Amino acid sequence: MKRRIFQDDANVLRSLALLRVGQLFMDANFPPLESSLYYSHRLVEGKVTWMRPHEMIPEPKLLIDTISRHDIVQGVLADCWFLSSCAAVAQRPDLMRRVRHPLPSSKPSL
């Protein structure tokens, strides 16, 4: 049976191909522009600085040691419905293995 490649899968493949030639991926659906964050510039109260993880911390990791529902913290977004779902999935290692994309890596964490 032929496997269908979904958009996220294609983005992962593009990202890996770009990394091989020393370039970084940029999501065309979510470019690093203020218009990606706000409908109106009047909502912006300060300057927005777009940064990649490695620009904020020397060795960024998505997961450190274990996965816990306590890792989920709501910020200023009205996203409690999504975060509560993430916390529920985080309690089930079998589901986390299905959610996290298995990127090829020499290190065990993301």
Q: Which amino acids are annotated catalytic? A: 80
Contact partners, residue 63, CB within 8 Å, separation at least 6 = 100, 109, 110
The amino acid present at 10, given as its one-letter code, is A
Burial-class residue 15 by CB neighbours within 10 Å (0-12, 13-18, 19+): middle
Read off the amino acid at residue 9.
D
* Contact in structure between 44 and 38 (CB atoms under 8 Å): yes
